[in-house]
Amino acid sequence: MQEQIVFEDNHLLVINKKAGQLVQGDKTGDLSLLDLLKVFIKKRDQKPGNVFLGLVHRIDRPTSGLVIYAKTSKALSRLTQMVKNREIKKTYWAVVPKVEIPKSQRLIHYLQKNEKTNKSTVFPKVTEGAKEAILHYEIIKTLDNFQLLEVDLETGRHHQIRAQLSKIGVPIKGDLKYGSPRSNPDGGIHLHARRLQFIHPVTLEKLTITAPVPQNDSVWKACED
């Protein structure tokens, strides 16, 4: 667990999540990062009682990258409010097919989540039951068969990046649910929560936290080189 911690102080714990890890428990009953971290902190810090750890925001199970946990209730309530107010800037890296798209673009769609299929449908215009989804992407690297997009979210919708990129013809590598032709060997997708920028909820220090890409993947490593 220690190698996954990218930032920690008395109030916050920021983890570089691996693809496939759950951020918190769900109906699968699989062990989540929240459970594992509580056990790890209890043992490392030799805490006699229960460990307080609160999840501030989620990222999808097949996605890798940064997740914030709060170590105090004060930090948790402030960070939760910051998420609601969109005061935490989230930047993602996405590996997509090398096809012709504009170098940078602001995408505005309307997303409707289907609870049964756990998938979002994308509409080009205002649609009843659909929520506005806005992101900005820029191509920052070109590889032999793929290109790397840096994506900044303006809204935080269910499967937003996955659904919107698929809609413009560039599904994320490995994302079968949204149109990628092949899965990745580890079952993950090439979407990585790369950077977080926000004001520390207690110290008021300006934080920029960056997560290295998965090191066991040649495409990711080529992106970071």
Residue 113 sits in a domain of what CATH number? 3.30.2350.10
- Average pLDDT over every residue of 87-112: 97
pLDDT at 30: 82
56 pLDDT higher than 80: yes
pLDDT digits (tens, 9 = 90+) for 126-165: 999 999 999 999 999 999 999 999 999 999 899 999 999 9
Work out the burial of residue 81: count CB atoms within 10 Å of its CB; fewer than 13 is exposed, 13-18 middle, 19 or more buried. exposed
178-185: average pLDDT: 94
Round to whole Å and give the CA distance between 66 and 129. 30
Report how many domains make up the chain: 1
- Radius of gyration of the chain, Cα coordinates, nearest whole angstrom: 18
Q: Which of 161, 155, 170 is nearest to 65 (CA)?
A: 161
Which whole number is the average pLDDT over 32-40? 93
Question: Which residue segment(s) compose the domain that 36 sits in?
Answer: 2-224
Catalytic residue among 9, 26, 60, 144: 60
Let me know if 60 is a catalytic residue: yes
Overall average pLDDT of the 213-225 stretch: 91
